[in-house]
Structure 1
């Protein structure tokens, strides 16, 4: 029997991989494919697997959300997000409250639902889903203008805690009432312990990971998993918000100079992908499609109201003081995807002692299906229609998460030959290249070609050099990247490297300036926008 269960699990995972490839070709979000696959295996599907253990599903989904939230924070560049931090936080807090309030009013006075139940639906659907937003932005490599990618990542990654708190308060109120003072106390406790645990666990983890050398390869990932679990569990035991804590911990780790970050990124990328498969498949398995026609009309009405009224009202109101174009506000409004977090919160309403008059789980489930299938599928098209896709060469949403690394053990570097460079006018055979390095490609104007020994280089050529990568032999090399801003430099006199404060054990080994790469010395004059590659010696 156990072997049969493992075989079934393997087949399901293979099917998810196949659906992922198919969804990419069809332009449909992969998460929708995972939900539909779960429904296919469920009690009303072809395989008739009966699963209605809501309590177990809620626990499994909560664990999956821990790692999705952690990696969402880990992959968010705080430097890129800082300019939009205030509107992002407003959207993830007051935006959730306002969206929940408007949705509750609509459900109560238009659809005729009971008052508290109406606001409970609003709370459950109040947050945009991190897994859905992250998945679509990264799968489509969707870099957006006006720093909108960072705004959406921070908002969707940090608004689940607010929706969770609202859901908890309303469920408590529906079980026998709760005084306003108790509401304030509950919210304050959730926020205090969530923030305190996030900063404490994250700060301690950064300090340890900068100093610890793990005895075996891969144990840094084991340590990071333990950190994520601790960041969630500690505040939950104290009555705090574990999702807020784990997201903050992820931000602190992802934006710090820690060892083996390049190892952690692909590990958590794979783990988060697995968690998304488990989460969406399980929620699809938990649903009963035969019950959905009964809730289709109210669910459709709520989905339309959320998409075209509640979400835009919250976005335009809260983002008005910060300027930004109307196109940005329209795109942020459209990007308010509902996803797994809303369904998990709906599961909480099922296992709660609170009594509801309507099938909240399937109402929310249908709203999420509509949101992911319509909003998610059309998000790239809407961004293109609004002219919000950033086509700049340096605008790469994946740059937030990891540097490119192919399977071949080689590395490439681009070199621009300015006028007067010592290589100009020389044939390739006369270049003093480092050992085991080859000039792989030359771009001259609009032409690109593979050079040979007699190729004479010219000014303004763009060169691609190729050299082998010795990963195992370079474990002691700890590199970080930093981009200079105008505020960091003396714009009247300029700043030479020799004038920078000396940081013991650190050396600027490479500077990227536009498309050029410079090997610096003490007289090199730094400019705004320079990207510095800094080597740190072992402590």
Structure 2
């Protein structure tokens, strides 16, 4: 009994103190996951805590459990639009990119540590994939908002590349222990079929399991608190069944989460909040346990060669793989450089590092220690500089305004519908535009407006005032859009903010319908057009992506143009203010004088005066 109480005391104390330490460290911008890892090391046998923990089998079990829950939450938060937008580049990075990264890193490890080829490439496979938890948490924890395609590529890649790294690790463990070999075409075919089944089986289990979990959540009548437990338990069941037949359970559980997160179901907010909390707990437990598992004094003899491997991974292997994989997808050089930099390594490489130890690979403890150093370097060097890298690469977007007060209620029988109550901010876009009606997205319906304690359900098209409480029936997917409308907002005046839009509309949509929904002042002949026809009538037949036109105080932008057809149009309700005529005149005069100066003076041997 005393031993059980000590376990509970130590576990609760480690989690509590690590959270407090993380809150304090966030003030200096330290990556929170690095804090958890460091706190685990301090609590270990070489630190003040003195806790001795060297059970790799327990670490593997807990790591598998935690990683499955983290990937379930990651799938839950991956929107279908993000997957559609970035499926091609993400799939290339998650497969070819992992192999290339592992190969280049393994080549460096071969000569820096004098390893045999199997062990060197095994190390490359262990650290070859980006960590889903690290990417999800470090991108979203600080409210960092990136260009949609870049953010989608990073998130989807990190969610689906773990199966490739795990497959490579297990295969190379087999070669390192001589249980696998490639002596002929039959062995190559067996190897290829094994890989094919891992991926295909993971997809099949994920799709079928996701459909069954979604059906169970919608059909069973349960207490609201049981729905998230049911969803999580069934997700883990799908994971275990897939693993039991040598398919990728990690890919399967990610797809289960994706299915639940992108289809209407009851208890939307309960499942989302519960999964978020469980993912945080899993992340904390993984990093604390991995911190306890390592012995810092054992890292010192190999620290500098391991540092060289880490820098090779970060500065050579990852960039080379990303540039080759993204070349066909027309990413800009800055976007490609940023995706290369955010190749974060987290708990997954440390978790994979336990597999060679449990399999009896010679020198496995050394591989585990090297992987640990690589994770530390990645979190310190890359995790600490993500906001700076986003600004340098010009992929950061202005943060979206969030309302100070928002209350959200699920409707159990509403199949994903929610009632959301907003308190109108004095600086919200609704008031600043001075419109006579609410420009709500399709699918959102105002139920009532409370003003000075009086609830009114009629005359809702007369607009709102500061302090009004607006109750809206909507879906979970519309809440970010409503946040932008009701949250405090400043006018965008910088050129870099001009790419921001409030709504994304299909080019085939009726201009008249859009005008009525959002209060746009189209000409009578323009109302008969589609948005695609309207954009071409304003901007000419050759419309380029990013081109804009204004309608009164609103801007319309061509977001996606394919084969000369405007597929998607962005609606910016609060575009950057246009410069005054005098300001534009001064700017052009200054540019003209600078051009004349360069033309007549730059080549003068006496130098400019």
TM-score, with structure 2 as normaliser: 0.70
User: Per-residue CA shift, 1:430-449, capped at 9, x if unaligned?
Assistant: xxx95643499xxxxxxxxx
Q: Indicate yes or no: 2:481 matched with 1:479.
A: no
Aligned to 2:12: 10
Q: Indicate yes or no: 2:332 matched with 1:317.
A: no
Structure 1 residue 117, shift from structure 2 partner = 0.6
CA distance in 2, matches of 1:514, 1:404: 31
- Whether the 8 Å contact between 1:417 and 1:462 is mirrored in structure 2 is no
CA distance in 1, matches of 2:156, 2:134: 13
Residue 19 of structure 2 aligns to a residue whose secondary structure is helix
Aligned to 1:38: 40
Q: Indicate yes or no: 2:436 matched with 1:421.
A: yes
Aligned match of 1:264 in 263, 271, 279?
271
Q: Indicate yes or no: 2:190 matched with 1:203.
A: no
Count of aligned pairs: 464
Aligned match of 1:105 in 104, 107, 110?
107
Which consecutive residues of structure 1, in runs of 5 or more, have no partner in the other structure?
Answer: 424-432, 441-458, 498-512, 517-526, 532-539
- Whether the 8 Å contact between 1:58 and 1:344 is mirrored in structure 2 is yes
Aligned to 1:508: none
- Whether the 8 Å contact between 2:217 and 2:231 is mirrored in structure 1 is no
Which consecutive residues of structure 2, in runs of 5 or more, have no partner in the other structure?
Answer: 182-186, 410-419, 439-446, 455-461, 479-502, 518-550, 555-567, 573-609
Structure 1 residue 404, shift from structure 2 partner = 6.1
Aligned to 1:244: 251
Aligned to 1:172: 174
- Whether the 8 Å contact between 1:439 and 1:466 is mirrored in structure 2 is no
User: Per-residue CA shift, 1:93-124, capped at 9, x if unaligned?
Assistant: 11101111111222224543210111001100
- Whether the 8 Å contact between 1:416 and 1:515 is mirrored in structure 2 is no
Aligned to 2:300: 293
CA distance in 2, matches of 1:280, 1:240: 26
Aligned match of 1:467 in 469, 474, 486?
469
Q: Which of the pair has more CA radius of gyration?
A: 2
Distance 1:357 1:61, change over 3 A: closer
CA RMSD of aligned residues (A): 3.3
Aligned to 1:332: 339
Aligned to 2:599: none
- Whether the 8 Å contact between 1:259 and 1:478 is mirrored in structure 2 is no
Aligned to 2:242: 235
TM-score, with structure 1 as normaliser: 0.79
CA distance in 2, matches of 1:104, 1:325: 29
Aligned match of 1:412 in 413, 423, 431?
423
CA distance in 2, matches of 1:186, 1:434: 58
Aligned match of 1:224 in 221, 228, 231?
231
CA distance in 1, matches of 2:33, 2:435: 53
User: Per-residue CA shift, 1:374-406, capped at 9, x if unaligned?
Assistant: 110111111122222111647x9xx9xxx9659
- Whether the 8 Å contact between 2:44 and 2:295 is mirrored in structure 1 is yes
Larger deviation: 117-126 or 188-197?
188-197
Structure 1 residue 269, shift from structure 2 partner = 1.0
Aligned match of 1:380 in 383, 387, 390?
387
Aligned to 2:483: none
Aligned to 1:184: 192
